[in-house]
Structure 1
Amino acid sequence: MENTAGSAEGNKKWKLAFILCFLALVVDGADVMMLSLSLKSIKDDFGLTGVEAGMLGSVTILGMGLGGIFGGWCSDKFGRVKAIAASVLLFSVLTALLSFTQNVWQFGILRFISGVGLGTVYIVSAGLISEYVPTKHRTTIIATLQTGWTFGYIVASLMAGAIIPDHGWRLMFLLSGSAIILSFLLYYFVPESESWQAERDRKLLAKKDNPQDSSFGFKLIFKDKAVLKVLLMWISASMLLHLGYNGVNHWMPTYIETEMGLNYKSMTYYMIASYSAMVFGKISAGIISDKFGRRFAFMFGCIATAACLVSIVMFANPTNIIYFLALFGFLYGIPFGVYATFMSESFPTAARGTAMGTAHNMGRIGSATAPILVGAIAASESIGYGFLILGFFYLISILPILFIREKMFDPSAKAGVEPEPAK
């Protein structure tokens, strides 16, 4: 198959894929953030305890984790685009249905199932675009793509500020169902990457010639000990990073509103400031990573985020919290700005979707206790005290990264020509 990555046709394809995947990440991120922004209203509506409120975040994370692993496997088996489109369709419908729930159990069950769709989009979109773009600017492009998730946070914050005080949380969830349109646009207008198509053709030929020589996905991972070792390191890094991220993301709006004493609309404006800074953090991570290396950018972001989170708890007050949140947003965007590119270059095409989906989402599953942990600590101490624990998780997430080499595989390479990682 001719590589058209640098041709006019190739540029048109990846730009279209970029735009629609960016929009998919916007609605994905908005959907995830809606729960955090409406948590206090839902808590009051259903009469929940802090642990029960944290449980809603945990079941979301569990659904996203399981769905992301399955979605990653589907992206290797059936195609990246099909996996993304199906996921957007699933979570759009089910999130809209949340507006009709009458108790915490109905909400929790539907949120878990919608999480199955939410878990696929982030990492599979990154894998798809990584297979479209050249190595030289890959991190910058993917980091820019993943600002879509952050823009989703901003959209959700704007919606929450405009809708919840006057109309309640249910209308906001109902409106999210309009994202169903995007799933059809993705399915019909975005082509699969050439490297995935070439790998599919190679597997079909291998299966025809020798049915025993068509490994992909989990079969390939467990067959190759070097790939399995890297996967285990990524699962560890992802779990620690997500423990910090999910705990903060779930409880920060409530922390600002309760322990900082700000009203709801002020809280949403302050969160928008933080998410806006996160956009610049992710883009900066891409530039730093392409210039100084994936590992350096990731480790710097994690260490700086841990330090900033501790500073928020120790020194922030209602007057200066907006400055701390802007700095925090910039810094905690950096690890995720480089994370997906670093990971996509760690695995061969035949197992990339499965490995990335497994690493990213096993990390999510392992971090599902974070919202409950902070909720439990808040019941006896404070949310801020829980944040100090989360800062520790951010700090030690750099340890597995020390054992992962950079650029082991080229995601844009054709099947059969990717370099083997050094033993």
Structure 2
Amino acid sequence: MPTTLDRQISATRATKTPLNRSQITGFWGAWAGWTLDGMDSFIYALVLAPALTELLPRSGYEATPANVGLAGSILFALFLVGWGLSFIWGPLADRFGRTKVLAATIFTFAIFTGLAATSHTVWELGIYRFFAGVGIGGEWALAGTYVAEAWPEDRRKMGAGYLQTGYYAGFFLAAALNYTIGAAFGWRAMFLVGLFPVVVSIMVLLRVKETDKWERSESVQPHVKHESSLKAIFNAQYRKRTIVAAVLLTVAIIGLWAGAVYEPSAVVQLATKAGMDKHDAARMASIATGLLSIGTIIGCLALPPMAEKIGRRKTLAVYFVGMAASIALAFGWAFYLPNGLVPFIALLFVLGFFGGNFALFSLWLPEQFETRVRATAFAFCTSVGRFFGAIVNFGIGAMVLNMKTLGVPIAITAVAFLIGLAVIPFAPETKGQELPN
């Protein structure tokens, strides 16, 4: 029979620290930015074929399927390089605070997303996507850092899961827009959409109070913080953590982006083979993307409780195994079935669920670094993964061109998760630890 003390402990555990208005407003501002970030990132995948079909001839190239695939890979790699350069935002956030720099990243990717609608050549589109990538890349690190620092200790783990759903809600929003606006008005209208909702997010963030943790760190050791945030993540204390986290994020980015970016093209091919016309095939790609997004949102929400129960490392291992299996089966098996559309889309939902592994990094990375270098470490580790993701994307494009098929090159990226499984034991287990000051 439970004692009075037992009941008090249970009540304490059941009662979470209430969020104040600034914490709530700040979260929704960060979430909205992360949603628009996901929407912007996936717009390109959805409009890849029609945009390049129009722009390649204007750039002096024939719009063959092979040229569309190669140009698409090159432009996406440029986007990832811009995304990789986004590590510049981390030191700025450690120097000037989280909220204003976060608003600056959102403003940057919104402007260049809108400009992409004015592209006359493939090269112009590549330039706009490069600078949009610089802005987009900083949003994840700064949003994750803000929520980790602003939310109470007993809420921040689930906060990471909630925040990460925004990115995939953006995927779902992009799919819905492509199903409606894109189908009716074309690819340029899709890019223009990215200009408008972002204003709300920026206005919210500019009104949000800076995190107490950053303000305390700023007042206690400003000279150390300002001079050494980038160098500090490679000192004896943090070097191993930085390298291991960067490797794990590289694995996650290579695997998920290979699958997510080429998923619409794969669905279009399978739908066409199933007898659908061009219009219906494009709509089917939007439906499949929505299903992928729903799966990922569920995966993001399921991850924090699992990480609290079995630990960060075991949770990431489970999600990496799921990613490896679903990518290999979807692109290496279902894609080549005579009637592969239905099993391929079903596997996309599974791929989406385990793609929620990114939520773990929003939870885990802030726990590994102290406040004065937290944003820098987060931004650097995510940026490294994007640079390698760009290199791999070039390789995938070349394989697609040479092999004349989409499925096998994407299926091969499942190997990256096996490498990740070997690296996970070298990461620190932070289950049960509070966010360091």
Query: What TM-score comes out, normalization by structure 2 length?
Result: 0.86
Between the two proteins, the alignment pairs up a number of residues equal to 399
Give matches, 1:385-396, under 5 Å.
385-396=408-419
2:330 pairs with 1:319: no
Q: What's the counterpart of residue 360 of structure 1?
A: 382
Give matches, 1:158-307, under 5 Å.
158-204=176-222, 207=223, 215-222=227-234, 224-259=235-270, 261=272, 263-307=281-325
CA distance in 2, matches of 1:123, 1:272: 25
Task: Among all aligned residue pairs of Structure 1 and Structure 2, give the percentage whose two residues are the same amino acid.
Answer: 23
CA distance in 2, matches of 1:80, 1:279: 25
Aligned residues of 2:94 and 2:226 also touching (Cα < 8 A): no
2:62 pairs with 1:44: no
2:160 pairs with 1:142: yes
Aligned residues of 2:162 and 2:301 also touching (Cα < 8 A): yes
Give matches, 1:374-385, under 5 Å.
374-381=396-403, 382-385=405-408
Q: What's the counterpart of residue 8 of structure 2?
A: none
Selected match of 1:84 from 78, 102, 110: 102
> Aligned partner of 2:322: which letter?
A
Aligned residues of 2:106 and 2:202 also touching (Cα < 8 A): no
2:67 pairs with 1:56: no
Aligned residues of 1:37 and 1:157 also touching (Cα < 8 A): yes
Aligned residues of 1:218 and 1:354 also touching (Cα < 8 A): yes
> Aligned partner of 1:232: which letter?
I
Q: What's the counterpart of residue 26 of structure 2?
A: 17
After superposition, the C-alpha distances for 1:316-365 in whole angstroms (9 at most, x for unaligned) are 512322221112211222x1121221111111111111011001111111
CA distance in 1, matches of 2:233, 2:361: 20
CA distance in 1, matches of 2:247, 2:145: 20
Aligned residues of 1:88 and 1:179 also touching (Cα < 8 A): no
Aligned residues of 1:84 and 1:120 also touching (Cα < 8 A): yes
CA distance in 2, matches of 1:165, 1:92: 22
> Aligned partner of 1:52: which letter?
A
Secondary structure in structure 2 of the residue aligned to 1:101: coil
CA distance in 1, matches of 2:231, 2:261: 35
Q: What's the counterpart of residue 131 of structure 2?
A: 113
Aligned residues of 1:237 and 1:399 also touching (Cα < 8 A): no
Q: Name the CA shift for 1:227/1:393 in 2 (closer, same or farther; >3 Å).
A: same
User: 1:156 offset after TM fit, Å?
Assistant: 0.5
Q: What's the counterpart of residue 39 of structure 2?
A: 30
Q: Name the CA shift for 1:293/1:104 in 2 (closer, same or farther; >3 Å).
A: same
User: 1:272 offset after TM fit, Å?
Assistant: 0.4
Secondary structure in structure 2 of the residue aligned to 1:226: coil
Aligned residues of 1:89 and 1:183 also touching (Cα < 8 A): no
> Aligned partner of 2:233: which letter?
I
After superposition, the C-alpha distances for 1:231-284 in whole angstroms (9 at most, x for unaligned) are 011111111221112222221111111245361101111110111111001110
Q: Name the CA shift for 1:72/1:114 in 2 (closer, same or farther; >3 Å).
A: same
> Aligned partner of 1:252: which letter?
E
Gaps of 5+ in 2: 1-15, 57-62
Query: What TM-score comes out, normalization by structure 1 length?
Result: 0.89
Q: Name the CA shift for 1:252/1:86 in 2 (closer, same or farther; >3 Å).
A: same
Gaps of 5+ in 1: 1-5, 419-423
> Aligned partner of 2:80: which letter?
I
Selected match of 1:341 from 355, 363, 373: 363
Task: State the Cα RMSD in Å.
Answer: 2.0
Q: Name the CA shift for 1:326/1:213 in 2 (closer, same or farther; >3 Å).
A: closer
